[in-house]
Chains A and B, each alone.
Chain A
Amino acid sequence: MLRDDALVWRLLSTRAAAFAYVAFLALSAFALLLVIAGKDPWQAYVDTLVYVFGNAYGFSELLVRMTPLLFTALAVALPARIGLINVGGEGQLYMGAWLATAGELALQEHSAFVLLPALTVLGFVGGGLWALLPAILRALRLVNETISTLLLNYVAPLIVSYFIFGPWRSPESSSYPQSPAFVDAARLPTLFYSRVHVGLIFALLCLALYAVIVSRTRFGLEMRAIGGNPPAAQRLGIPVSRYILTVMFIAGGAAGLAGMAEVAAIQGRLVSELSPGYGFIGFLVSWLAGTSATGIVAMSFLFAVLSSVGDMLQITQGLPYAVINILLAGILFIVLGRRPVASVAR
Chain B
Amino acid sequence: MNAALVLGVLASAIASGTSLLYATLGEIVGERAGIVNLGLEGIMLIGAASGFAATAMTGNPFLGVTAAALAGAAANLIFAYLVVGRQANQLATGLTLMFFGLGLSALIGRPFVGTLIAGLPKLRILGLGSMGDPLTAYDGLVYLVVPTAILIWWLLFRTTWGLGLRAVGESPVAAVAAGLRPGRLQYQALAIAGLLGGIAGAHLSLALTLTWEEGMTAGRGFIAIALVIFAKWNPLWAIAGALLFGAAESLQLQLQAAGADVSPFIMNMIPYLLTLLVLIVWGWSRQAAAPAALGRNFVGVE
Chain A contacts with B in 304-346, Cβ cutoff 8 A: 318-320, 322-330, 332-333, 336-342, 345-346
Given contacts A287-B92, A336-B93, contact A162 B263 (CB under 8 A): yes
Q: A243–B226 Cα gap in the complex (Å)?
A: 26
B100 interface neighbour in A165, A287, A326, Cβ under 8 Å: A326
Q: A161–B140 Cα gap in the complex (Å)?
A: 37
Closest to B100 in A: A329
B99–A87 contact, CB under 8 A? no
Residues of A within 8 A of B284 (CB): 142
Number of A-B contacts (CB under 8 A): 136
Does A3 sit at the interface, judged by CB under 8 A?
Answer: no
Q: Please choose the segment from B15-23, B123-131, B211-219 that sits at the chain A interface, where 4 or more of its residues have CB less than 8 A away.
A: B211-219
Does A280 sit at the interface, judged by CB under 8 A?
Answer: yes
A319–B276 contact, CB under 8 A? no
**Residues of chain B at interface, number, CB under 8 A:** 45
A158–B269 contact, CB under 8 A? yes
B265–A346 contact, CB under 8 A? no
A87–B95 contact, CB under 8 A? yes
Does A12 sit at the interface, judged by CB under 8 A?
Answer: no
B283 interface neighbour in A137, A320, A340, Cβ under 8 Å: A137
B96–A329 contact, CB under 8 A? yes
B224 → A minimal CB distance (Å): 11
Given contacts A326-B107, A336-B86, contact A345 B92 (CB under 8 A): yes
B272–A325 contact, CB under 8 A? no
Residues of B within 8 A of A158 (CB): 265-266, 268-269
Does A18 sit at the interface, judged by CB under 8 A?
Answer: no
Which of B86, B99, B226, B284 has most chain A Cβ within 10 Å?
B99
A329 interface neighbour in B97, B107, B265, B273, Cβ under 8 Å: B97
Q: A85–B275 Cα gap in the complex (Å)?
A: 19
Does A191 sit at the interface, judged by CB under 8 A?
Answer: no
A162 interface neighbour in B88, B265, B283, Cβ under 8 Å: B265
Closest to B79 in A: A333
A148–B96 contact, CB under 8 A? no
A329–B99 contact, CB under 8 A? yes
Does B176 sit at the interface, judged by CB under 8 A?
Answer: no
Given contacts A162-B265, A280-B99, A345-B91, contact A322 B222 (CB under 8 A): no
A322–B215 contact, CB under 8 A? yes
Does A159 sit at the interface, judged by CB under 8 A?
Answer: yes
A323–B92 contact, CB under 8 A? no
Instruction: Annotate A154-166 by CB proximity to B: 1 below 8 A, 0 otherwise.
Output: 1100110110011
Does A283 sit at the interface, judged by CB under 8 A?
Answer: yes
Does A151 sit at the interface, judged by CB under 8 A?
Answer: yes
B88–A151 contact, CB under 8 A? no
Residues of B within 8 A of A87 (CB): 95
Given contacts A319-B107, A322-B214, A330-B100, contact A341 B93 (CB under 8 A): no
Instruction: Annotate A127-168 by CB proximity to B: 1 below 8 A, 0 otherwise.
Output: 000000000010011110011101111110011011001100
A147–B86 contact, CB under 8 A? no
Given contacts A143-B280, A346-B89, contact A337 B95 (CB under 8 A): no
A284–B279 contact, CB under 8 A? no
Given contacts A325-B102, A336-B89, A336-B92, contact A161 B265 (CB under 8 A): yes
Does B8 sit at the interface, judged by CB under 8 A?
Answer: no
B279–A322 contact, CB under 8 A? no
Q: Is the interface of A mostly helix, strand, loop or mixed?
A: helix
Does A2 sit at the interface, judged by CB under 8 A?
Answer: no
Residues of A within 8 A of B68 (CB): none
Does A33 sit at the interface, judged by CB under 8 A?
Answer: yes
Residues of A within 8 A of B226 (CB): 147, 151
Residues of A within 8 A of B93 (CB): 333, 336
A142–B103 contact, CB under 8 A? no
Closest to B81 in A: A337
A152–B272 contact, CB under 8 A? yes
B96–A284 contact, CB under 8 A? yes
Given contacts A155-B269, A165-B265, contact A137 B100 (CB under 8 A): no
B276–A151 contact, CB under 8 A? yes
Does B7 sit at the interface, judged by CB under 8 A?
Answer: no
Residues of B within 8 A of A159 (CB): 265, 269
A34 → B minimal CB distance (Å): 8
A37–B92 contact, CB under 8 A? no
B60 → A minimal CB distance (Å): 22
Does B253 sit at the interface, judged by CB under 8 A?
Answer: no
A326–B279 contact, CB under 8 A? no
Q: A318–B215 Cα gap in the complex (Å)?
A: 17
Q: A325–B39 Cα gap in the complex (Å)?
A: 13
Given contacts A37-B107, A142-B279, contact A333 B96 (CB under 8 A): yes
B106–A337 contact, CB under 8 A? no
A167 → B minimal CB distance (Å): 10
10 nearest CB pairs, A to B = A325-B103, A142-B283, A326-B103, A329-B100, A322-B106, A336-B88, A162-B265, A329-B99, A320-B106, A325-B99
14 A-B pairs within 8 Å (CB atoms) are namely A37-B107, A141-B283, A143-B276, A147-B226, A152-B276, A155-B272, A280-B99, A319-B110, A324-B103, A325-B103, A326-B107, A332-B92, A333-B100, A345-B89
- B residues engaging A (CB < 8 A)? 38, 78, 81-82, 86-89, 91-93, 95-97, 99-100, 102-104, 106-107, 110, 214-215, 218-219, 222-223, 225-226, 263, 265-266, 268-269, 272-273, 275-276, 279-280, 283-284, 297, 299
